[in-house]
Structure 1
Amino acid sequence: MAAKLDIANAPQNGAGETSALAEKHLVQPWPVAGSIGAEARGAIESGDGIYVVDGEGRRLIDGPAGMWCVNVGHRRAELAEVLHDQAMALSYNSPWYTTNQPSAALAERLAAHAPGDLSHVFYTTGGSSAVETALRFMQFLNNVRGRPEKKLIVSRQGGYHGSTYLSASLNGRPRDHDWMDSATDQVAKLACPNPFRRPAGQSEAEFCDRLVEEFRALIEERGPERIGAFIAEPIMASGGVIVPPEGYLRRMRTLCSEHDILFIADEVVTAFGRLGEVFASKAVFGLEPDMITFAKGVTSGYFPLGGVMISSRLLESLRQSNHSDAMFAHGLTYSSHPIGCAVALRNLDILEDGLLDHVKAISGYFQKRLKSLESLPLVGEVRGMGLMACIECVADRVSNNPLTLDLEVGKRIDRHCQELGLLVRPLINMCVMSPPLTISTAQIGDMVAILDASIRRAMDELVREGLWKG
């Protein structure tokens, strides 16, 4: 007989039952072949504010805010009430032939926050489908304009844009494509704009010049008539919180404008308060894209929702074309979902009612305290902006293939952090921090203290075992 989920008593069931059921029936994201469909990952039983409680009863700071998404914190009663009330009023309507009030109201609110003329939104179910929608819109636009050859998509090494086929094809993280097919003929990748890894002796300004010239050379090589879009996260999130050189994004935008290439800002992570703004493109980076993709923080993870903000200029060009019957044959069953949009509206209220200001006020302290970890010999760099940061550990500064040791470092720091009360998201040798935006200065101090102790413990272990000389 199938197990019945008892929500009220879930924390008392313990980690054993949850892990056993998962190992028996769940296929987890990003599994390896040797354990696919038979993997038990750590159970999280409950959450409150910036904390979660794991299956062993440990109270942990939620360092990654779920997955960059629980922006207003766990257990917000007002969001739970909206979920309930909207479900009781209207749980679903088909977006193919009807519209609901929350989706229209949210569209108006988002348009007011979006930069430039990004006054329209197409709703999706998450970040991957948002990116996929933006790319399909670019293809449709160029088909209607009579430019079917203008479809090449330019992304960057180190970037991450999703898990659907076309969005995943844009990803530039090492090993993501080792065993997975992708649309390689539709994508060209530029270098990662990571100042920490720039060539020795090169200034950050010179590094920026080189990146811009690389894009210019690609346009000349492939031809602007073949390049449809350039997509970029303003800050590369899953790539290790890569903050690009000053002026880089604006200069890339200029190149796009000069050659009629759509600039897509992938703000799945950076939007909805992570950098202190609803959308960061213009307010933080001085950038007005043609489209902005978003998800995650739009509902703070309380309901799956994403979307694409689209320039009214692009929509008007379609309306004025000679193909008024051309159909953008793209949609999702859960586009404009009334519950998701209602939650997003209340989530926006919370952000606008002081939380965005709190992020701006506390971000400097957050970055400064984390930066102090650079005094540890294992730490190569601490970087970030707003309430997102990365502690990159560099144990092997000599080998051309440091992966084995890097993986070992990440696993050990992760283990020690959980023992001491912090949930981290280890990306091989990098610890990514993006806590709920409600975090206080005292809680930041606790988080940094745990990271410091955990990195020191890992260093001591590596030295004792002869894996690292220190």
Structure 2
Amino acid sequence: MLTENRNPGANEPSAETLKSWDREHFLHPWASMDTSASHDHMLVDGADGIYLWDSNGRRYIDGPGGMWCVQIGYGRQEMADAISNQVMKLPYTSPWTTTTEPSAVLAKKIAELAPGDLNNVFFTTGGSTAVDTALRAVHFLNNRLGRPGKKVVIAREKGYHGSTYLSATVSGKERDKTRFDVEKRLVHFIPNVNPYMRPDGTSVEDWCDEKVADLEKAILEVGPDKVGAFIAEPILCSGGVIVPPPGYHRRTLEICRKYDVIYISDEVVTGFGRLGHWFASKDVFDIEPDMITCAKGLTSGYLPLGACIISDRIMEQMSGPDNVLFSNGYTYSAHPVSCVAALKNIEIIEREEILERVRHNAPYFQERLSALSKFAIVGDARGMGLLGCIEGRTGREGSTLEAERDLGAKLDAACEELGLLVRPLINMCVFSPPLIITREQIDEMFDILEKALEQVSKELGF
């Protein structure tokens, strides 16, 4: 735990030097190319529990929980020991021709935790490659079954599924400017499912009917013989913690079954405890999908690891008497050190009853979140489990994207000044703190949010 200003030794670079090297040589994810050489990222120098310390010794609540991933919190000595021991025992072996105890045990454990007949685990390097693997499995299956045209993926606006070519293709964050190509022939987007966006006078039930109809309409428009899969996050997290209306997931799964469309549940964020269960698909939304993708909370961010979990039903169709290779894989698939980190992470979550703790604390977390709607600057305060989003509004008709970005930036800066990190998304800020957060720390977090909202409201004349 860091509590004092960073005081480098004679041979250690200063904070200013490190930031200079960062600006000159480190191209960050989602970097703004017109300002990448002048950015001033916070230099994080230590962490413990739910807190981070910067190089000046200032403490912050880690509102985003890393990148939706630090479930068990920072500073776990037993995690460090498990990782260290495995490094010394066996740091790496090829997943093409060998297996290891950690990967075999973890695959069995994930199969036990996953719902229904999802018993087949393909290990990847993270969430993007887990989604990429799921989509390639759809291609493989339909090629094998003699249906080479059944490849189109139905995806949702505001959905985010990753940064590889295929996973980016099915991501629908339409307000992000990009100069990257995607494979538009392989995707068809259906409209925003966010209940906050429904027209005045439209009930949540009617909105759900409309959104379910969007999926069936899209399948019929593209052609059931051409639609291979539907990919959906249980909660659209990077899109702004969008919680679809009750019953939506179950009804869309029924439509997928009707038209022989594979249902991929992207649980990269919601898996491993974020909603108080190992997986949200069955326990929260009452569905048993054909595939589940996961990452992030699988290791609590201590090491990179992802997985694509495939049902027995789909595996039976992918298998056959002829020797056809599923030629998909990564050098670091089933990395033994990452697998040990995942096993230790699961052990800690089970031993400390963290899932039960999330279910206990979530109602209070959501109560404090909902109370933020009292601010006129807040258009919507929504969430589920230990996920939350504040969507701000400028109060002006026809507000510009620039005005909304300004609002989000002001709220982000005010929170940071008060000791809370949030993740700004245009006019929204989202948060998914470590699952070990206590009730007292929930109050600390929302007290800061309230102060920040008061400050920004005054700045913008609300």
TM-score (norm 1): 0.94
Q: AA paired with 1:263?
A: Y
Distance in 1 (CA, whole Å) between partners of 2:396 and 2:34 is: 30
Q: Quick one: structure 1 residues 8 and 224, their matched pair in 2 at CA, closer, same or farther if it must change by over 3 Å?
A: farther
Task: Please tell me whether residue 264 in structure 1 is matched to residue 258 in structure 2.
Answer: no
In structure 1, the partner of 2:81 is: 81
> Is contact 2:294–2:306 with CA below 8 Å preserved after alignment?
yes
Q: Quick one: structure 1 residues 252 and 14, their matched pair in 2 at CA, closer, same or farther if it must change by over 3 Å?
A: farther
Distance in 2 (CA, whole Å) between partners of 1:47 and 1:17 is: 21
Distance in 1 (CA, whole Å) between partners of 2:163 and 2:192 is: 20
Distance in 2 (CA, whole Å) between partners of 1:337 and 1:302 is: 13
Displaced runs of 4 or more, over 4 A = 6-10
In structure 2, the partner of 1:61 is: 61
Q: Quick one: structure 1 residues 452 and 9, their matched pair in 2 at CA, closer, same or farther if it must change by over 3 Å?
A: farther
* 1:351-377 Cα distance to aligned partner (Å, 9 max, x none): 112111100100000110111111111
Q: Quick one: structure 1 residues 349 and 227, their matched pair in 2 at CA, closer, same or farther if it must change by over 3 Å?
A: same
Distance in 2 (CA, whole Å) between partners of 1:439 and 1:14 is: 32
Deviation at 1:223, TM superposition (A): 1.2
> Is contact 1:107–1:121 with CA below 8 Å preserved after alignment?
yes
Q: Within 5 Å, give how 1:30-429 maps onto structure 2.
A: 30-36=30-36, 39-176=39-176, 178-319=178-319, 321=320, 324-353=322-351, 354-399=353-398, 401-429=399-427
- Equivalent pairs counted in the alignment come to 455
TM-score (norm 2): 0.96
Distance in 2 (CA, whole Å) between partners of 1:53 and 1:235 is: 30
SS in 1 for 2:454: helix
Comparing 31-40 with 383-392, which one deviates more in the overlay?
Answer: 31-40
In structure 2, the partner of 1:17 is: 17
Q: AA paired with 2:263?
A: F
Q: AA paired with 1:385?
A: M
Distance in 1 (CA, whole Å) between partners of 2:14 and 2:154 is: 47
Deviation at 1:177, TM superposition (A): 5.5
Q: Quick one: structure 1 residues 8 and 85, their matched pair in 2 at CA, closer, same or farther if it must change by over 3 Å?
A: farther
Deviation at 1:199, TM superposition (A): 1.5
Deviation at 1:170, TM superposition (A): 1.0
SS in 1 for 2:148: coil
Deviation at 1:13, TM superposition (A): 5.5
Q: AA paired with 1:134?
A: A
Distance in 1 (CA, whole Å) between partners of 2:7 and 2:151 is: 48
> Is contact 1:45–1:55 with CA below 8 Å preserved after alignment?
yes
> Is contact 1:63–1:435 with CA below 8 Å preserved after alignment?
yes
Distance in 2 (CA, whole Å) between partners of 1:377 and 1:133 is: 44
- Aligned counterpart in structure 1 of residue 453 of structure 2, from 452, 455, 459: 455
The share of aligned pairs that are identical, in percent, is 48
Distance in 1 (CA, whole Å) between partners of 2:172 and 2:240 is: 12
> Is contact 1:15–1:42 with CA below 8 Å preserved after alignment?
no
> Is contact 1:14–1:56 with CA below 8 Å preserved after alignment?
no
Distance in 1 (CA, whole Å) between partners of 2:24 and 2:78 is: 36
Note the aligned Cα RMSD (angstroms). 1.7
Deviation at 1:457, TM superposition (A): 0.7
Q: Quick one: structure 1 residues 197 and 171, their matched pair in 2 at CA, closer, same or farther if it must change by over 3 Å?
A: same
In structure 2, the partner of 1:466 is: none
Distance in 1 (CA, whole Å) between partners of 2:175 and 2:246 is: 29
SS in 1 for 2:310: strand
> Is contact 2:232–2:266 with CA below 8 Å preserved after alignment?
yes
* 1:103-128 Cα distance to aligned partner (Å, 9 max, x none): 11001111111111000100001000
Q: Quick one: structure 1 residues 293 and 7, their matched pair in 2 at CA, closer, same or farther if it must change by over 3 Å?
A: farther
> Is contact 2:224–2:259 with CA below 8 Å preserved after alignment?
yes
Q: Quick one: structure 1 residues 291 and 9, their matched pair in 2 at CA, closer, same or farther if it must change by over 3 Å?
A: farther
Comparing 371-380 with 13-22, which one deviates more in the overlay?
Answer: 13-22
SS in 1 for 2:16: helix
Q: Quick one: structure 1 residues 104 and 208, their matched pair in 2 at CA, closer, same or farther if it must change by over 3 Å?
A: same
Distance in 2 (CA, whole Å) between partners of 1:139 and 1:264 is: 13
Q: AA paired with 1:398?
A: E
SS in 2 for 1:392: strand
> Is contact 2:377–2:395 with CA below 8 Å preserved after alignment?
no
Deviation at 1:313, TM superposition (A): 1.5
Q: AA paired with 1:417?
A: C
Q: Quick one: structure 1 residues 29 and 86, their matched pair in 2 at CA, closer, same or farther if it must change by over 3 Å?
A: same
Q: Quick one: structure 1 residues 377 and 69, their matched pair in 2 at CA, closer, same or farther if it must change by over 3 Å?
A: same
Deviation at 1:307, TM superposition (A): 0.6
> 5+ unaligned residues in a row in structure 2: which ranges?
1-5
Deviation at 1:7, TM superposition (A): 12
Deviation at 1:447, TM superposition (A): 0.5
Deviation at 1:402, TM superposition (A): 2.7
SS in 2 for 1:263: strand
In structure 2, the partner of 1:3 is: none
Deviation at 1:9, TM superposition (A): 6.7
SS in 2 for 1:41: coil
Distance in 2 (CA, whole Å) between partners of 1:407 and 1:257 is: 41
Distance in 1 (CA, whole Å) between partners of 2:188 and 2:381 is: 29
> Is contact 1:268–1:294 with CA below 8 Å preserved after alignment?
yes
Q: Quick one: structure 1 residues 454 and 83, their matched pair in 2 at CA, closer, same or farther if it must change by over 3 Å?
A: same
